[in-house]
């Protein structure tokens, strides 16, 4: 009877039908569910297994019946185009791309250490890499009537999710039209993740994948696409996911003054060793591993690693993969959507008891990461891409026979 | 007689036919001629007058007869297309774009202060903004036979100048094919600069303007265009104009390991006050001015200015122009080719005798400038885009009646 009662209570919770998650995930918020994998595991795989791919939900996970699912495409001359899941899969060629998604709030915890910000306290693993399969948004828009006449007035493509808050407001976002319709933009209406149906947490049955662009525009559980002269009017497009000067606070912020985050800047982080790790002096060599990625299809061309807090630097080896997987083919120019994993092995400095390991990456526009957090601090704690710093202690051998 | 002798000697000098230059320019090298305007003047004009636009010549200025000038377009199915200046002007629509060009070595002097590098000792004014008029490279390539079949194997477009060294080697460079043929790439074969014929120093009669891309690829005195599977094999493409880790020196450098610089990273600098300037306490308010620009068509969205060495920041006002010129229309997304001028006025801090003024810019991919020079130092002194710092002294009023 108690159990029955509990189930009734639970079922009035909008999160009660959320899927099960892998227990290894580090949970930042249960309702809505937001979680990241342990960093050491992240760099074990070039393709992040879906179960440990970071989860970033704004709202309860909607339960969508694939048989009755409909995708509405609006704002084009022919009126509304409505596609079933089957039509999306059969009327348009399937394209596959490997793309890294990163939350705007990845590494927010480092900003919190400078001064409190508003948002989930993400570590360094709100970023993951997957292979996505689906129809090209470009193909669907062309089928729905997109053409040169539309290009004259349209500037944005808006997306609406099927996830809703208690008032019925759905998640929404938009991207610039040129990204959506360009052949090189590679925007997908994805129905597969790592060769399987999308998991519930990643937008089953259909999500947008906007490679090179902040996670927040990669709308999940996609219900509606609208071609428009205006950006999405959603909270997340207008009053969130924007960057500000470190001097701007909640009393002075004018959200209209900053552009919505789209392409993300150059990023990298050290996944191993962990901050605070203890290294045995007998190890002699230290291996440092991490990831590096840049937005806008800009390819990471170099990662510099320092063992002395940034005084001297060595160049890390870029590896497409963690454990002897096949190397990835070189991306087309401007279409480097996937991260690079990297590692460097170096002798332990003989005289130090503590090391500050630092990494910084460079992309093919030669953009670099800023040195320190305070000058890029912002009230929402987004775009946290300063050099990543990890302190480790060296344990001297106790017995030297 | 002495004069006659001198003239004979002079005329054996390959630089003897170089044009006259404006005396206000600060000369970094006479032969070849390399010079930049005084920074304070640079920010007076949104469009830099051609006479003070920075000059960056690798070789003597060639004298080109416009009547016999020929442009050769090679590597396409129809064989070589040869165009006279007249044909270039009449067979193709004229397009006009405002684009900023920046030398890879702009602000090299700040790297020299860290550790000696090889290269001309540029200050902060190896950057200028002009309006360019000419044919679209895309249109010329299409007329010469470019099409989907070529796209299958071609990857680069090479340019050769008519400027030669003593061995007859011409200046050369290349850009990625997708930049050259894209409608949004806006690459011009320019024959006009600021509504007049190109000046001799800027490539008369025809130069390439590759907006968003490092100056070195904007080949002047253009003689030949080749569509190719390979990059230019020139010294300047292969063994120069590349970025390296600060730990890489001339003994260890492998030029093949780094990509040729194309798009440049986010940049800004303070044009006034000058470093070392003396400010009167009676002024009460300090006005700081400068420029900001980013490569790849990324628009500058914010400039932060600090009067206390980077501890606190205020947001500068972005002005398209220096002195009440009409504001520029908003650029198309991904096609922000021109710089922004900016200024900020702030009360003089009451207690300080010396101020360290700092600026840093942000582009619409939210890329930021690195904080300091040493971690981006590289042996060629290119890509110098750390925060710009200027120290000024405040002179207390001597007579306070
Ligand atoms: Mo996010
Ligand atoms: Mo240059």
Q: Per the omega criterion (within 30 degrees of 0), is the bond before B73 cis? A: no
DSSP run (H or E) holding A135? strand A127-136
- Smallest CA-to-CA distance from A206 within A357, A1, A90, A66 is with A66
Q: How far is A10 from chain B (nearest CA, A)?
A: 42
Q: How far apart, in whole angstroms, are the C-alpha atoms of residue B158 and residue B145?
A: 16
User: Exposure pattern of B336-374 as b/e (b: 16+ CB <10 Å)?
Assistant: bbbbbbbbbeeebeeeeeebebbbbbbbbbbbbbbbbbb
Sign of CA dihedral B176, A185, B299, A372: negative
* CB of A320 closer than 8 Å to CB of A358: no
Q: Rounded to the nearest 10 degrees, how much is the dihedral formed by the CA atoms of A295, A298, A303, A304?
A: -90
A 10 A CB-CB count for A249 gives: 12
A70-74 and A81-84 beta bridge pairing: antiparallel
A177 min Cα distance to partner chain B (Å): 9
pLDDT on residue B199: 98
Measure in Å the smallest separation between the Cα of B372 and chain A Cα atoms. 7
Tokens matching residue A344? 């460097």
φ, ψ of residue A300 in degrees (nearest 5): -70, 125
The pLDDT, as a whole number, for residue A401 is 47
Interface contact B263-A375, CB threshold 8 A: no
pLDDT of residue A331: 84
* Beta strand pairing call for B70-74 and B222-228: parallel
Largest CA distance in chain B: 84
- What is residue A261's predicted lDDT score, i.e. its pLDDT? 98
Q: Which residues surround ligand 2, an ion (CB under 5 A)?
A: B 103-104, 215-216
Contact A50, A194 (CB under 8 A): yes
Task: Please list the ranges in chain A whose pLDDT falls under 50.
Answer: 1, 401
User: Among residues A179, A174, A143, which one has the least CA distance to residue A157?
Assistant: A174
> What is the distance in A from the centroid of ligand 1 to the CA of A110?
16
pLDDT number for residue B332: 86
Residues of A in contact with B371 (CB under 8 A): 370-372, 375
CA distance A108 to B182: 37
Which pLDDT score, from 0 to 100, does residue B401 have?
47
Q: Would the CA dihedral through A232, A238, A240, A245 be positive or negative?
A: positive
Specify the long-range contacts of residues B114-122, CB closer than 8 Å, at least 24 apart: B114/B373, B114/B374, B114/B377, B115/B377, B117/B377, B117/B378, B117/B379, B117/B380, B117/B381, B118/B250, B118/B379, B118/B380, B118/B381, B119/B380, B119/B381, B119/B382, B120/B28, B120/B29, B120/B34, B121/B28, B122/B28, B122/B36
The answer to whether A315 contacts B262, with C-beta atoms less than 8 Å apart, is: no
Rounded Cα distance between A368 and A362, Å, is 5
Chain segment A186-238, per-residue pLDDT in tens: 999 999 999 999 999 999 999 999 999 999 999 999 999 999 999 999 999 99
Instruction: Report chain A residues touching chain B, CB-CB < 8 A.
Output: 155, 176, 178, 184, 243, 245-248, 258-259, 261-266, 295-296, 301-302, 304, 310, 312-315, 332-334, 360, 362, 364-372, 375-376, 383, 385
pLDDT for the residue A399? 60
CA distance B375 to B386: 9
B113-158 pLDDT per residue, tens: 999 999 999 999 999 999 999 999 999 999 999 999 999 999 999 9
Q: What is the mean pLDDT of residues B176-182?
A: 97
Torsion, Cα of A186, A191, A194, A200 (10° steps): 130
Query: Which of B245, B332, B368 has the CB atom closest to A302's CB atom?
Result: B245
Q: Closest Cα partner for B62 from B31, B17, B7?
A: B17
Q: Could you tell me which of B295, B133, B120, B108 has the C-alpha nearest to residue B203?
A: B133
% pLDDT > 90, chain B: 90
What pLDDT does residue A78 have? 85
Quote the Cα angle for A226-A231-A232, to 5°: 65
Positive/negative CA dihedral, B359, B363, B366, B372: negative
Instruction: Please tell me the predicted confidence (pLDDT) of residue B303.
Output: 98
Structure confidence by residue, pLDDT tens digits, B131-140: 999 999 999 9
Q: Of all residues in chain B, what percent carry a pLDDT higher than 70?
A: 94
Measured in angstroms, the CA of A362 and the nearest CA of chain B are apart by 10
């Amino acid at each position: 009877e108690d159990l029955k009662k509990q189930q009734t209570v639970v079922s009035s919770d909008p999160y009660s039908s959320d899927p099960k998650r892998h227990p290894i995930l580090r949970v930042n918020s249960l309702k809505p569910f937001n979680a990241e994998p342990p960093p050491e595991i992240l760099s074990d795989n070039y393709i992040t297994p879906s179960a440990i791919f970071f989860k970033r939900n704004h709202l309860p996970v909607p339960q969508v019946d694939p048989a009755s699912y409909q995708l509405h495409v609006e704002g084009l001359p022919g009126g509304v185009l409505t596609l079933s899941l089957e039509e999306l899969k059969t009327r348009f060629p399937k394209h596959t791309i490997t793309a890294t998604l990163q939350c705007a709030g990845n590494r927010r915890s480092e900003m919190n250490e400078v001064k409190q910000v508003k948002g989930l306290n993400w570590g360094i693993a709100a970023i993951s890499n997957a292979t996505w399969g689906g129809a090209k948004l470009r193909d669907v828009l062309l089928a729905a009537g997109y053409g040169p006449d539309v290009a004259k007035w349209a500037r944005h493509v808006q997306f609406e999710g099927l996830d809703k808050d208690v008032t019925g407001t759905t998640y929404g976002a938009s991207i610039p039209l040129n990204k959506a319709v360009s052949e090189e933009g590679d925007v997908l209406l994805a129905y597969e993740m790592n060769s399987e149906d999308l998991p519930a947490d990643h937008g089953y049955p259909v999500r947008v994948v906007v490679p090179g662009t902040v996670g927040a525009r990669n709308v999940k559980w996609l219900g509606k696409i609208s071609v428009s002269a205006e950006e999405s009017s959603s909270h997340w497009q207008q009053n969130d996911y924007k960057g500000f000067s470190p001097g701007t606070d909640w009393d002075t912020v004018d959200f209209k003054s900053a552009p919505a985050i789209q392409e993300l800047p150059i990023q990298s982080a050290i996944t191993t060793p962990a901050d605070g790790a203890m290294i045995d002096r007998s190890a002699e060599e230290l291996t440092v591993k991490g990831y590096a990625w840049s937005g806008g299809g800009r390819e990471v061309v170099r990662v510099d690693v320092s063992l002395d807090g940034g005084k001297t630097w060595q160049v890390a080896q870029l590896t497409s993969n963690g454990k002897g997987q096949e190397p990835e083919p070189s991306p087309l120019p401007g279409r480097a959507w996937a991260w690079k994993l990297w590692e460097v092995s170096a002798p332990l400095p003989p005289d130090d008891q503590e090391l500050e390991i630092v990494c910084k990456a460079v992309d093919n526009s030669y953009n670099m990461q800023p040195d320190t957090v305070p000058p890029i601090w912002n009230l929402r704690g987004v775009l946290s891409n300063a050099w990543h710093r990890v302190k480790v202690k060296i344990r001297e051998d106790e017995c030297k026979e």
